[in-house]
Structure 1
Amino acid sequence: MNIGVLRIGFSLPGCSSLKEKRQRMGGLHERFGRTPSIAVCESGDLDRLEASEWSFVVAATSAQKVESICSEIEEKLQRTVDGRIMDVEREIL
């Protein structure tokens, strides 16, 4: 079993409330948390309105599959989140 951790930091320019922040992040728990091989949580910038950090833990049978899933997550986030990706960190354990 191979495990990877993907941390992504977002900039949310003009975000004025925690409610708006939740709406702009668009339900990442619901989209990615349903997949058995992915665990997701908001891991940083919890109280900052114009920033958010999310972590994804991915489990798969090979490091190549973990990398592939992480790439898919990152691509989906670029298309669906109303904000900019500012920082991406990947770590294979």
Structure 2
Amino acid sequence: MNIGILTLRIALPGCASLKEKRQRMHGMHQRYGRNPAVAVCESAERNNREASEWTFVVAGQTVPEVESLCSEIEDRVQRTVDGRVVETTREIL
């Protein structure tokens, strides 16, 4: 079993309130938490309306499988979130 930790820091320029932030980030748990190989949480910047940090823990049988799923998540977040990914960190355990 291999574990990957993917952390994405997202800038939310022009976000006026925490309510708007929740609306813009809506669905992160539902989109990625459905996959039994992925756990997701907002790991930092919870009270900052112009930024958000999300961590994904990905499990897989092989390192390439984990890397592929991490890349898929990163690409999908960049396409679907109303914000800009400003920092990405990835670690394989």
TM-score class normalised by the smaller sequence: over 0.9
Structure 2: runs of 5+ lacking an equivalent: none
Give the alignment's Cα RMSD to 1 decimal. 0.5
Q: What TM-score, normalized to structure 2?
A: 0.98
Q: What TM-score, normalized to structure 1?
A: 0.98
Percent of pairs with identical residues: 61
Counting only pairs closer than 5 Å after superposition, residues 43-82 of structure 1 correspond to structure 2 as 43-82=43-82
Q: Which residue is equivalent to 2:19?
A: 19
Structure 1: runs of 5+ lacking an equivalent: none
Code of the residue aligned with 2:71 in structure 1: it is S
Code of the residue aligned with 1:25 in structure 2: it is M
Misfit runs of 4+, over 4 Å = none
Q: Is 2:88 the counterpart of 1:88?
A: yes
